[in-house]
Every structure is written in C-alpha cells, then in structure tokens.
C-alpha cells in the first residue's frame, strides 16, 4: 500500500500544485475493502454484523456489499493507530486519506466529517468561541451557523449581504463591508462568511482574507457549495487557496461523495497554524464515535475521482451546463440569470454548475415549473423560487441536455403573468441575544398575533436554509407573510417552525 503522511501533503500543497502519483490511490477505501474481503465472524457492532440476511430490508436499500463494508470505528490499523504502524512511522489509512485530500484542495490539513457541512459549521463556531465571544459574520449564513452561535453563546456582529429581491436570492458580502464591521467592532475574534452563495455568486475571498489578517483575526469560509472549486481551470479558485484559514466543504453537494459526508480544510499561514490544535480537539468532540465507514470511504473515492478523472469529467459536465445556459439565452420565453448573479456587488465570479433560469415573463412561476417538472417529467431541480428555477449540474455528472430543454419548452404558459410571492423580507429588529431568546420561556401564538413579538426560533425558508428570522428578532408582517407563503407552496417547508403551516409561532413569553 502506498503511504503519505500529513507533512508530505503539506509540503506538496505548499510547494507545488502538481498532482502527486499518490492521488491515484484510495488508502482508506482500499483498507476497508480489504477488511471486508475476509470471512469474519463479526461479534461486534453494528448488529447486522455484515450479513444481508440479518437485515434484509436494509440490504434491499444499500445492497449486501454495503453491509459488508459497514465496519465500526476504532478498527486497529484502519482509522485508529496500530502499534506496528506507529513503530514504522506510518499513518493509518484514514490519516493518509485525509492527507491526500489536503493536498488535492491545497490545505495544510483536512478532516473528514460525517455530519455534513452543518456539523462543520458547529465545529467552526465552537472554534470561534475559543478565540473570543464577538465575531463578524455574514447575516445570510446557513441556519447551522446560527445554531452553532446559539449553542456556544457568541455575540455576532452581522454584515448584511447582497440580496436580489427579484430572483429571491441572497448572496455575499464585500471586503469593504468586512473592514467596516471590524473597525466598528475591534474586539471581534474572527470573520465568518459564505462563498459561493446558494445561487452561485463567488465572493472576493482573497480581498476579505487580506482584511481579516490585517486586523489579525482568522477568516472562516462556509464553502459548502464550492467543494468542486479549484479542481479544474474553468472553475473558481477554492477558498483555502484564496487565503481562508478554515473552510467548511460540503463534499457531497458538488464533488460526489455520499450524502452527509463533508470535509473541513485548514489553510496556510500564521492564523491557520494557531487554529490547528484547537480545531482537532473540537472535531473530536463533535465527531461521532460511530462514524460511518461508508461515508468516510466515499470521501476518499470522491477525491480520487475528482483529481484523476476530473479534467475530463468536469469538462464534460461544464459543456452540458453551458449548453443548457446557451439554450435558455436563446429562448424567447426564459432568461439566463447569470448576468444578475455577476452584477451582485459581492460577486467576483460565479459557479458555472449553478444554472439560474428566470421565469419572470414566462407565464409560469418557478415553483409551479418545478412542480410540473417533477410530476410530468421526473426532473427534480435543486430549488425554485416564484421567480426562478435553480438547476445544479454535478461536477462529474454531465446533464441530459435534451431532456431538460424538452421539458422546459413543454411547460404550460398562462396568458397573463401569474402572481408572484413578495420579495425576501428584511431582517427584523434585534431585541435579544440569540441564546437568551432561544432559552427563554416560550409562548405559542396565532400568526395574527405574532407581529411585533420576539421569535425564539430560527426560521428559514428551506432550501436554501438561510434564516429569515433569528431568535431574538422581532417578527414583522413581511417575514410572517413570506414564511407562511413558503410553507403553503408545493413542497414548501420552513426549517425550525413549530407548526408546518405557520398558523402559530413560538415567541418569547411576556
């Protein structure tokens, strides 16, 4: 078996962007397959003990091979240290796999996560709390960041990102905004931003990291939607290479690992180095002691595929995405919204795998279009707003261009423009801290009585999971109407809601 140490990966990442021959290997996945190849009598967890007849229903979902590979953590020499490896100076296959991922993404160190980027955000917010209580954070962060802030009682200084009210999309923040916030709040211990946005707007991470470092604080980037960045010349540079100190990457979203698998990347330079020991301890405190071997192995395999086959496969996927975008541009009915994304003041680039189709003027709402694509064509888009459809093409998964275009052109068109939901509401007035509100005594009131009351919940029109209301914020009529409208839409869902229809809201008791 070929072996690589974390220091080898750091040296390779720091000195050269050339591909190491070791990138063709999958040390953890291969070790797992080798382990499963033996005829074990398994007297340990999980209870199915690797046999499909012990869990026939589960086997019908994932196959007997997956059950055989479903080993627990703490297997000597696989994910835990074996004395024979230690004595020879070698690392475990899991550590080797993480080192290869660090090399691939240009990080100094990478951790594999099995609770998604949401778990990564919980880790990162806990890291911030160890640095200080105050920090500068983009308001349009994912709800998992808000949950993390609430859990550890951080004091956030929010920076309002750009909003495209017409499309119903929230984007990012600029370096100038971050500098203003740090100057206004000099006790801030970190900066926390999102890039790319759910709609694909890429922020100026190089500029923002320069500002953060000038104020002597680390930059943390939620790059959940950019796990494929930096792995093809036609894609934007990834956040670690742009100067970020800690990066949360939802590898399953754009890079093809199994759902719920993710990575946490550590950057380079003095601010990142100061974080390493702390991050490692926090990762261990959050990571399950029963991590899924299948999820970990999928990260190893996804990395190998992206690095070794990426130039060809990503190229084909990009061609399919551009073909769809070009056809939309040529359509007299639909409009390619890429120019809108790039016009956002925070955007320095866009993710070409996010295709935003403007349905305004098309005689159909985006939400109705998505419903009909699902019902009539078995095509499921990533997201719909009343004004747009958002398509996500996988980085190594070329789209069936003809199928989606045929379905789009077959959508019915009303004679008159349909009514569309109002734009994203502004953030409400903040009257309490997040943790204070979250743990307050609760009163449940009808929606007609909720206006002017203080929310105890983080309420996010989901997807994309960006909270429209935070604990401690006043519920306004616009927010109430927007959230109720979202819940009433086909497949509508509001994360954090006590009542799925939002006929009732949970508020701080008087």
Q: What is the pLDDT of residues 271-286, one digit of tens each?
A: 999 999 999 999 999 9
Q: What is the tens place of the pLDDT at every residue in 33-86?
A: 988 888 888 888 888 988 888 899 988 999 989 888 888 876 656 766 554 454
Contact between residue 382 and residue 463 where contact means Cβ atoms under 8 Å apart = yes
- Residue 352 makes CB contacts below 8 A (sequence gap 6+) with 200, 234, 235, 318, 321, 322
Residue 180, Cα to own-chain centre: how many angstroms?
27
The terminus-to-terminus CA distance of the chain in angstroms comes to 65
Q: Which two tokens stand for residue 306?
A: 């992206």
Q: Which of 156-170, 370-384, 394-408 has the lowest mean pLDDT?
A: 156-170
Q: What is the tens place of the pLDDT at every residue in 425-450?
A: 888 899 999 999 999 999 999 999 99
Residue 292 CB-density burial (10 A; 0-12 exposed, 13-18 middle, 19+ buried)? buried
Most confident range, picked from 9-18, 41-50, 200-209, 475-484? 200-209
> Cα–Cα distance between 281 and 284 in angstroms, integer?
5
Q: List residues bridging with 507 in a β-sheet.
A: 443, 455
pLDDT above 60 for 11: no
pLDDT above 60 for 19: yes
Domains of the chain: 93-299 (3.40.640.10), 308-409 (3.90.1150.10), 434-508 (3.90.100.10)
3-state secondary structure (DSSP) of residue 468: strand
> Cα–Cα distance between 22 and 96 in angstroms, integer?
10
Among 455, 395, 408, CA closest to 427: 455
Q: What is the mean pLDDT of residues 225-244?
A: 97
3-state secondary structure (DSSP) of residue 507: strand
Residue 5, Cα to own-chain centre: how many angstroms?
28
> Cα–Cα distance between 50 and 33 in angstroms, integer?
13
Q: Which of 38-42, 371-375, 407-411, 423-427 has the lowest mean pLDDT?
A: 423-427
At 175 the pLDDT is 98
| Count of CA atoms in the C-beta half-sphere (13 A) of 59 | 13
Instruction: Considering only CA atoms, give the Rg of the chain.
Output: 23
Q: How many other CB atoms are found less than 10 A from the CB of residue 117?
A: 28
Structure confidence at residue 89 as a pLDDT band (50, 70, 90): low
> Cα–Cα distance between 107 and 6 in angstroms, integer?
10
Structure confidence at residue 2 as a pLDDT band (50, 70, 90): very low
> Cα–Cα distance between 477 and 256 in angstroms, integer?
41
Residue 236 sits at the vertex; the CA angle it makes with 232 and 237, to the nearest 5 degrees, is 85
């Amino acid at each position: 078996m070929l072996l690589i140490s974390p220091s080898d990966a750091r040296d390779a990442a720091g000195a050269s962007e050339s591909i190491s021959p070791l990138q063709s290997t999958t040390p953890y996945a291969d070790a797992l397959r080798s382990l499963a190849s033996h005829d074990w009598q398994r007297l340990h967890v999980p209870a199915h003990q690797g046999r499909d007849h012990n869990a026939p229903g589960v086997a019908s979902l994932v196959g007997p091979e997956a059950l055989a590979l479903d080993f627990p953590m703490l297997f000597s020499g696989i994910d835990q240290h074996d004395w024979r490896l230690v004595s020879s100076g070698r690392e475990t296959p899991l550590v080797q796999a993480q080192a290869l991922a660090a090399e691939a993404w240009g990080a100094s160190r990478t951790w594999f996560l099995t609770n998604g980027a949401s778990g990564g955000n919980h880790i990162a917010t806990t890291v911030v709390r160890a640095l200080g209580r105050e920090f500068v954070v983009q308001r349009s962060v994912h709800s998992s960041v808000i949950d993390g802030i609430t859990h550890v009682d951080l004091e956030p200084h929010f920076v309002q990102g750009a909003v495209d009210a017409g499309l119903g999309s929230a984007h990012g923040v600029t370096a100038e905004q971050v500098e203003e916030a740090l100057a206004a709040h000099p006790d801030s211990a970190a900066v926390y931003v999102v890039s790319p946005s759910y709609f694909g707007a890429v922020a100026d991470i190089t500029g923002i990291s320069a500002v953060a470092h000038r104020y002597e604080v680390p930059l943390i980037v939620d790059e959940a939607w950019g796990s494929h960045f930096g792995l093809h010349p036609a894609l934007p540079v990834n956040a670690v290479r742009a100067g970020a100190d800690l990066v949360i990457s939802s590898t399953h979203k754009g890079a093809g690992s199994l759902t719920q698998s993710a990575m946490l990347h550590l950057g380079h330079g003095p601010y990142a180095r100061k974080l390493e020991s702390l991050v490692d301890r926090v990762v261990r405190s959050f990571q399950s002691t029963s991590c899924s071997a299948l999820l970990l192995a999928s990260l190893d395999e996804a990395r190998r595929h992206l690095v070794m086959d990426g130039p060809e496969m990503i190229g084909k996927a990009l061609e399919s995405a551009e073909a769809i975008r070009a056809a939309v541009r040529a359509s007299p009915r639909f409009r390619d919204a890429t120019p809108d994304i790039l016009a956002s003041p925070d955007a320095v680039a866009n993710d070409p795998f996010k295709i935003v189709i403007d349905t305004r003027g098309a005689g159909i709402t985006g939400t109705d279009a998505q419903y009909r694509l699902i019902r009539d064509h078995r095509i499921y888009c990533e997201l719909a707003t009343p004004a747009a459809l958002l398509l996500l093409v996988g980085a190594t998964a070329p789209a069936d261009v003809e199928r989606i275009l045929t379905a789009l052109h077959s959508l019915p068109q009303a004679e008159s423009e349909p009514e569309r939901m109002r734009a994203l509401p502004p953030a409400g007035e903040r009257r309490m801290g997040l943790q204070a509100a979250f743990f307050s005594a609760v009163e449940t009131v009808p929606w007609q009585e909720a206006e002017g009351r203080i929310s105890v919940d983080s309420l996010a029109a989901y997807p994309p999971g960006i909270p429209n209301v935070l604990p401690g914020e006043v519920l306004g009529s616009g927010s109430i109407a927007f959230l109720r409208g979202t819940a009433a839409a086909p497949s509508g869902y509001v994360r954090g809601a006590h009542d799925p229809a939002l006929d009732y809201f949970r508020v701080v008791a008087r």
